[in-house]
Structure 1
Amino acid sequence: MMVVHARINALKALSAAVFCIVLSSQVVLAQDGPSAAPPYEQQLMRLSEIFGALHFLRPVCGERDVPSWRDQMEDFLDAETLDENRRRRFIERFNQGYRGFSAVYRDCTTAARLAMEQYLVEGERIITDVTSRYGR
């Protein structure tokens, strides 16, 4: 259980680092035009989906994260999306992650806990990769 809490705290802390990279990259992207996407776009889309999955799974398993994963997603959207179409794509990926598990799980199971752990690891890996490759 301590490992899971450590992963959650690390993921949330790393999320803040991604937001800093995102904010600094918006200046460069604005020069390229409104439709320019950063090279890590697909990783951010996947991260949105992971946030959605965790937003569903964590409460089902009795976890009460503060801030919630939805709040994390809101912060992410505020930092990342200047373009409304792009914002909608991120929201759709978040909702896709949420719906994927809400259609299957009503109770916390061993499989749900395993999925949470795998998503925490994957999210941590994505954020570490983005911050190390694109951070200053």
Structure 2
Amino acid sequence: MYPAGKMSKLSLIAIAAAMSLCAATSNAHAQAVIKVDPSTKEKPEEAPVDKPEIRSLPPAYDETMMRLAEILGALHYLRELCGAKEGTLWRDEMQQLIEKEEPDETRKAKLISRFNRGFRSYQEIHRECTDTAAEAANRFLRQATHLAAEIPGRYGQ
């Protein structure tokens, strides 16, 4: 233990946090107690209890999905640039991904933004199909295949 008057700063913080938690728990418990008016024989009424705000968190695989969206955008540009003649294949894949995922509007906008970022970043660099552009497209194909298999395998989606 600590000699008298020699508690660590961390111990004091932990004690203060525990006391705050106890006070908050007691306060919440006191608010939930049923009020009974002894002068009436009617049903007791419950005191209103504040409901906690429920926030929706992104799925655990969210960053992987964002990366996949960016790769699909890059593939949409690079494969067409290098003559793959796939038309809108990669944009259609992105659309299917969004439809299957059913994200809220904020997350949907982020996925679309990442797709567009992948497209634009390679559009700014590569104006014609070079060996580097073709290699990047091949690398992205491998990465997309890997990520598409990883998400359901790792997260069960």
Ranges in structure 2 where 5+ consecutive residues have no aligned partner: 1-53
RMSD over equivalenced CA pairs, Å: 1.7
Instruction: Give the structure with the larger helix fraction.
Output: 1
Q: Quickly say closer, same or farther: Cα 1:34–1:90, change in 2 above 3 A.
A: farther
Displacement, 1:66?
6.2
1:118 match: 139
2:150 match: 129
Displacement, 1:35?
2.2
**TM-score of the aligned structures, taking structure 2 as reference length:** 0.61
Hey, what's the Cα distance between the residues in 2 that align with 1:104 and 1:124? 24
Hey, what's the Cα distance between the residues in 1 that align with 2:55 and 2:77? 32
Ranges in structure 1 where 5+ consecutive residues have no aligned partner: 1-32
Hey, what's the Cα distance between the residues in 2 that align with 1:94 and 1:68? 13
The one-letter code of the counterpart of 1:125 is H
Choose the corresponding residue for 2:68, options 10, 24, 47.
47
Q: Identity, % of aligned pairs?
A: 38
Displacement, 1:67?
5.7
The one-letter code of the counterpart of 2:93 is Q
Equivalent residues of 2:76, 2:88 under 8 A apart: no
1:59 match: 80
Specify the SS of the correspondent of 2:103: coil
Hey, what's the Cα distance between the residues in 1 that align with 2:56 and 2:102? 11
Specify the SS of the correspondent of 1:103: helix
Hey, what's the Cα distance between the residues in 1 that align with 2:66 and 2:156? 18
The one-letter code of the counterpart of 1:115 is A
Q: Which protein has the larger Cα radius of gyration, Structure 1 or Structure 2?
A: 2
